[in-house]
Structures are given as structure tokens and as C-alpha cells.
Structure 1
């Protein structure tokens, strides 16, 4: 079972916020709660959690555990 809580660290201000990750979609944008910078995934990442958080998104967690071969945001 994937962990749903992840802490995002803003690369602009260094502020951290713990968020609940969505399980039905990738989160492509995230507005920092501290400085309001709009974060987008880094090249090669599917979502802001994979780029800036301590725990990647649920589909990536499942793919790493061998529970899913598709990975994040792959069509079924």
C-alpha cells in the first residue's frame, strides 16, 4: 500500500509542507504555502511530489514495489 503523506520542500524559499498526495492523478502544479512560488515537475518527473517531496507519488511507489508495471500517469 502506498504512503499518501509527503513533505514538499520549496526550492525557492526552502519552506516545507506536508501534503496528502492524490491517488487518481498526478499533481503537475503546486503553489508553495510559504512564498507562493508555483512549482512544476523537473524534467523526467511526472509530478511535483516526485521532484520536490520526500516520498514520490503513489503510482511511482507502487511501480518501485513491483505492484504496477505502468508507473505514473500511464494509460491503462
Structure 2
């Protein structure tokens, strides 16, 4: 005798996110609501957040390979 359980679910398929992946702790927000990162040479780079998950963020505006300061401001 077997037992079955039916579960209703909705599957949502999203497009893969493309951009640089950085830790959320590396992102600052200024008084105007603009997100930014600080690079290892103390430059500020404004970014747009594409998506986030598990403490990491995919962003537009930072080239792959750019060293960012985390946490921001340190």
C-alpha cells in the first residue's frame, strides 16, 4: 500500500542576471538614494542593483574584476 501527497505549486522562471557580483556589505546609499561602491583606490562608483540573493548582489556600473571595499566606508 503506497501513500501519495499532492502539492500545488507555481514555478516561476526568471532570466539569468548579468553583471558584477559583490557582497551587499560593499554597497552604500547616499542621501539622494543612489547606490554606490567604493573601489580600492577610494573612487566612488554609482551602481544600479539588478538582483540580490544570499548576501550577494548583481550590479550594473562596476566592471568585472574591480576591487571594492567591504564593508563600504572602511
TM range (shorter): under 0.3
Q: More helix per residue: 1 or 2? A: 1
State TM-score, norm by structure 2.
0.28
Higher relative contact order (CA 8 A, sep 6+): 2
Larger radius of gyration: 2
State TM-score, norm by structure 1.
0.27
Q: More strand per residue: 1 or 2? A: 2
